[in-house]
Chain A
Amino acid sequence: MEEQRLDEMSLGDILDESDAREVKRRARAAGPRQHRLRRLLRPEPLFWGLFSAGGFVAAFLVPIHVAILGIAFAAGWLPSRAFSYERVQHLAHLPLVKLYLWGLIALPLYHWAHRFRFAIYHQFGIQRWRRFIAVACYGTAIAGTAIAAWVLLSI
Chain B
Amino acid sequence: MRTDMAEETIPLKVARYRPEHANEPYFDEYRVPYREDMVVLDALNHIKDEIDGSLAYRWSCRMGVCGSCGMMVNGKPRLTCSTFLREFYPKRVVVGPLRHFPVVRDLVVDMTDFMEKLKEVKPWIIRKEEKPVEEGEYLQTAEEVDAYKQFSMCINCMLCYAACPVYGRDHEFLGPAVIALGRRYNLDSRDQGQTERREVLGVDWGIWDCTFVGECTVVCPKDVDPSAAIQREKVATTTDAMLSMMLPFKGRA
Contact = CB atoms under 8 A, between A and B. Distances in A.
| Touch between chains A and B, by CB atoms below 8 Å | yes
B170 interface: yes
Interface stretch (B26-34, B141-149, B201-209): B201-209
Interface string A24-54: 0011001001001110101011101100100
Contacts of A19: 102, 104, 110, 112-113
Contacts, number: 68
Contact of A30 (B112, B170, B198, B203): B170
Contact of A40 (B113, B170, B172, B202): B202
Interface residues of A, number: 28
Q: Among B112, B166, B198, find the residue whose CB has the most chain A CB atoms closer than 10 A.
A: B112
Interface string B151-173: 00000000000000110011110
A20 interface: yes
B9 interface: no
Contacts of A30: 170-172
Where chain B touches its partner, the secondary structure class is helix
Interface stretch (A67-75, A90-98, A103-111, A117-125): A117-125
Interface string B188-218: 0000000000110011110011010000000
Interface size class of B (residues with CB under 8 A): 20 to 34
Given A15-B104, A118-B211, A45 B241 contact: yes
B203 A23 contact: no
B242 A49 contact: yes
Contact of B203 (A22, A36, A125, A127): A36
A40 to B, nearest CB: 6
A54 B171 CA distance: 29
Interface string B225-245: 000000000100110111000
B238 A23 contact: no
Contacts of A45: 202, 234, 237-238, 240-242
Contacts of A118: 209, 211
A23 B112 contact: yes
